[in-house]
Chain A
Amino acid sequence: MQSMSNSKAVLGRVVLSLSLGLTATMAMTTLTLTAPALGQSAHSDVVIKNATVMTATHGTIKNGSVYIKDGKISAVGETVNAPASATIIDAQGKYLTPGIIDSHSHIALDDDVNEATSPITPQMMMKDAFDYQDKNIYRALAGGVTTSLLLHGSANMIGGQAVVIKHKYGLSRDELLFPNAPRSIKFASGENPKRVYGARDQLPSTRMGNFAVQREALVQAQDYMREWDAYNDKLKRGDKDASPPKRDLKMEALADVLRGKILVQIHCYRADEMLTEMAMAKEFGYKLRAFHHALEAYKVADQLAANDVGIATFADWWGFKHEAWDAIPWNAVMAMRKGVHVAIKSDSEDYTRRLNQEAAKTIRYGGATEEEALKMITLNAAWIIGIDDRVGSIDVGKDADLVLWDGYPLSTTGVPEKVLIDGEVYFDRALPGLGMTHYKEGE
């Protein structure tokens, strides 16, 4: 277990009006940016027919079909209208689900997960370290994962900004980036920061120190934000002599947190720390998107629901450290029943390859329904990342990120047969070698 990579993040949720504005802008940009890419990859229309379609939002359609046009889901139902020229994939009754979304991953970073030289490093951009050729991207894809949130580790109280990828293994770096995904920043709390810096006789070495360091950084960011606000006000008033304050990448990132422009993802295990983080967010006026790991969420699920903070948690990991001692496998379902957005995530290059099994555990531990279990690795995970309007379910208008399964997906024995991203097959189990369509071995 790589405890240092057990990062958590609290999601700083964007204020509603802002969020709507952002989404609209994003949607427009997406169209503009992705149109050429789609053209290049010569998309043809695709119809997947005779599938048992598990939509994740509106039940399961037996003998269903999905019509994919320009990489998007254009129709879903028992029958769909599609042009005769469309490529037909006959699912022969097999299960079709949305692509799996891993809302907490550290793959493809070549160990550049923690800039553990200072507890506050919000200016670290995961994209700069993203190793798009890492085979773990392929292995996760073969397990049905189409999108991942690559997060910083939890050595620092504020680790840096994440990157969201699509698992289009074999393409170039920028083609793997999820277009216009919302920014996420990784905060942490608890044992890891205090251990890393405590071991060096530095601050923080206690939970008191952890929170003091975080609060201090936020106070500085408030000052920085005020300076810039004052400057912008002067500009607005037409003051041509106004000189801009010096840019500070660290403070700029935190000011964006305070302005609600970044989703705050917080690595946090203990219930009391979740309460403290929520109180601090209230104190400084930002929102949290999700607690990651959140193994004691079941103790404070009401409060999480009331603050609309999600959790990205393990199905049944426990006992690997003291703050994971009260973990129980019923956590996910107990929190979900209280109205919390719950995702099951991997935090592991191993488990990301079989998140379907991890999700299935919620059926056993707590009695999640099939759709609830599926949502925990699709739509709910998309919500954590802020992309639930674009992926995470089989609904018209969403990206055609789909998995065709050999066997029942929510089981030990269901394995992906074909994985499609934006309507194109990227993995096909029937192919020899690696089973890849866009990657040539030896490259």
Chain B
Amino acid sequence: MKPTKLPVILSEVETAQSAAAAKSKAPYTHSRPMWSGHSCPLPLILVLLLILTFSPKAFSQDKPIALKGGKLLTVSHGVIENGIVVMQGGKITAVGAASSVNIPADAKVIDATGMTIYPGLIDSETQLGLTEISAVAMTNDLIEMSDEIMPHMHTADAFHAESALIPVARLNGITNAVVAPDSGDTLPGQDSFIQLAGATAPDMLLIRDNAMPLNFTGDQRRNKGGFEKQKFPATRMGLAAQLRQSFLDAQDYKTKWADYERKKSDAAQNQNKDKNNDKDKKSDPLPPKRDLKLEALIPYLEGKKTIVLAAETPSDLETAVGLANEFKLKFVLNHISQAQPVLDYVASLKVPVIVGPIYEAPKDDERYDAVYSLPAQLYKRGVKIVFASYSAHNVRNLPDQAGFATAFGLPYDEALKAITLNAAEVWGVADQLGSLDVGKTANVVIANGDPLDVKTDVKQVYIQGQAIPMTSRQTQLRDEYSK
């Protein structure tokens, strides 16, 4: 492999970073409770945070960058050998064969000869920013288990921008992700769509409440501990009845508010007509009491937002789809890892599927590769698939799953799309992300080989056109103990 100029770029970034840290006008103007109890001096904290959490704001792309000579996996329009990608103002401004692209005179040119260049990868379900150390309860904000119907929980409210897990994930080329609550409730709360770099949580949260999981896998039952301890809903019947009642309540709530708004509007009109008549003022309607839970369900009942419908077995799948159709919910499917007998039915629904993880164990009587081959089986039936790591610490291994699916029949291009363009389409951001196309956000990865191979090393990640420092808590430990 030919050495590239990347190390030089890295040191420049590091220098810029130190300079920004020295100014102490870091993007972190807000202090975080996590740190406030510590006696660690603030400037040191800021330096640490800067090392661990890169901030595009502090280093907005000031001049164009041209990646020259690499093999471009555009995802949308094939592979370009010896290509050029130009990034400017955080966007991709040119993509093409070296012979056809003019590099701006002021561009910083990166020699990517021998490298593979592809769009930043998108993980369609993660817990990034909701957990730090799985077994340490105080670092987890994964789910509220006090009730099964929790649509008013917003992962955006818990998202921890400074999580040490985020640099670890993006070092492997993951630039965007869906953050979802854990799956122990039927309606555990709303997802966020994030970018894996940014000054603050709001900067990284590209879309708050972009979607909401509806989990129907049996795990949501409150049936643990025998008859003495179990409580409603202890069965799937209970789960379904509770969901149905919740959506009915939300419909009713919506009607009440609509009535109120109409009455208010009527009252206002009457007032305008008869300004001097004080007697009519008492007819001003009172608003219904606000209910955050029911309020949160309304955009989903109206089909304005996507429900992520999780089921595994055929029976759960059909019950869940039945519920979704009853309330005309717009949905994508999630998991369906045991639904092999009903894949034609799945295809007939004409919705995308977040499939897997394909590492789920097959049923006891099934062949060892029954789940490994599920993506290929869905693809054959015309289903749009995307992959997810369903993880926080192992988000970096998302591409391995896509690669593994190719060994069991999924065409390579589809596997790559399942963690780039298909995901962008499912999450409504295909105009900005998911491929190397002019006008899209410059989330671009340079690696020394096939992005779907476990051996491939990512050399540089760009987010919004800015070179991300290729460091994490883990590289720091490595370097410290390699001295």
A residues whose Cβ falls under 8 Å from a Cβ of B:
1, 3, 135-136, 138-139, 142-143, 191, 298-299, 316-322, 324-330, 334, 349-350, 353-354, 357, 360-361, 363-364, 406-407, 410-415, 433-435, 441
Contact = CB atoms under 8 A, between A and B. Distances in A.
Interface stretch (B20-28, B103-111, B132-140): B132-140
Contact of B404 (A320, A322, A413, A434): A413
A321 B133 contact: yes
B336 to A, nearest CB: 18
B133 A364 contact: no
Contacts of A414: 407
A294 to B, nearest CB: 14
Contacts of B365: 441
Contact of A319 (B393, B406, B454, B456): B393
Contacts of A415: 407-408
B404 to A, nearest CB: 5
Nearest to B357: A350
Nearest to B131: A319
B364 interface: yes
Nearest to A323: B135
Contacts of B369: 142
Given A138-B368, A357-B400, A435-B368, A410 B136 contact: no
B133 A413 contact: no
A142 to B, nearest CB: 4
Given A319-B165, A413-B403, A414-B407, A360 B135 contact: no
A334 B482 CA distance: 8
Classify the secondary structure of B's interface with A.
loop
Interface of chain A, main secondary structure? loop
B453 interface: yes
7 contacts: A299-B481, A322-B135, A328-B477, A353-B359, A357-B400, A361-B455, A435-B367
Interface string B113-147: 00000000000000000001111100000000000
B481 A334 contact: yes
A304 B474 CA distance: 21
A138 B359 CA distance: 15
Given A298-B477, A320-B135, A433-B367, 18 more contacts: A138-B368, A139-B361, A299-B481, A317-B393, A319-B133, A319-B392, A321-B133, A321-B134, A328-B477, A329-B474, A330-B474, A334-B482, A349-B361, A357-B400, A360-B454, A364-B455, A407-B407, A410-B455
A328 B478 contact: yes
Given A320-B135, A334-B481, A135 B404 contact: no
B457 interface: yes
B368 A413 contact: no
B333 interface: no
Interface in B416-442: none
Contacts of B474: 318, 327-330
A260 to B, nearest CB: 32
A191 to B, nearest CB: 7
